Chains A and B, each alone.
Chain A
Amino acid sequence: SQQGEEDPQALSIQEGENATMNCSYKTSINNLQWYRQNSGRGLVHLILIRSNEREKHSGRLRVTLDTSKKSSSLLITASRAADTASYFCATALEGSARQLTFGSGTQLTVLP
């Protein structure tokens, strides 16, 4: 079963625009991570935010975490065609073993 849900399921934007994806989860977490997956490939780690952090930046990526609402958002600024991929949030549950629990993903298409 999936822990999280991403919203929207699909997003199509023009190159240069910003893209925002949201993730909600159900149980207490140790951290939340965002991954990107290009078609037919494995997942690539983008950014990790711990449960005691509220915002984190990495290059053109900005992630926020609201543990009271059990939600996170990923913002990609100045998008490029190469950003076209599926984006997944994944949670490491509090007190659990080491596996990640993934959401169902957002398919982002950036049009040139």
Chain B
Amino acid sequence: GAGVSQSPRYKVAKRGQDVALRCDPISGHVSLFWYQQALGQGPEFLTYFQNEAQLDKSGLPSDRFFAERPEGSVSTLKIQRTQQEDSAVYLCASSSSGRNSNQPQHFGDGTRLSIL
């Protein structure tokens, strides 16, 4: 498919476990974003990559959150020692432009993470 693909779609983990969420952006898209969306709220920014460089991680809520995009395409968001407040939908988005914010972002369907 031509869209942004995220896996898994649903993830249930016990408190304290580590989880890894994957994002396959649209081929050739330079910019990749991770957002966290709580129930009934709008998405909140976590981190931004331009190619393989993580240019902004100001939205990551704690040092338990780590993201990478080693080859400038697929990205992984890892959460260590999960806590119940980490339960949310994690959305990935990609955009064709690295310098111009006047381009839409294309979102995946997200990973719904539930921490028990």
Contacts and interface: CB of A to CB of B under 8 A. Distances in A.
Interface of A: 1-2, 30-31, 33, 35, 40-45, 48, 50, 88, 90, 92, 96-105
Contact of A92 (B59, B101, B110): B101
Given A30-B102, A105-B42, A97 B48 contact: yes
Contact of B41 (A42, A43, A96, A105): A105
Contacts, number: 70
Nearest to A5: B42
Interface string B82-99: 000000000101010010
B42 A42 contact: no
B44 interface: yes
B42 A103 contact: yes
A91 to B, nearest CB: 10
Given A41-B109, A42-B91, A43-B91, A102 B44 contact: yes
Interface in B58-105: 59, 91, 93, 95, 98, 101-102, 104-105
10 contacts: A42-B4, A42-B91, A44-B107, A97-B48, A98-B31, A98-B33, A98-B56, A99-B48, A100-B33, A100-B45
Contacts of A40: 109
Contacts of B25: none
A59 B67 CA distance: 38
B55 interface: yes
A45 B45 contact: no
A99 B45 contact: yes
Contacts of A88: 42-43
B10 to A, nearest CB: 10
A1 B38 CA distance: 12
B15 interface: no
A97 B93 CA distance: 15
B11 interface: no
Nearest to A88: B42
A48 B95 contact: no
Interface string B26-64: 000001010100001111110010100001100100000
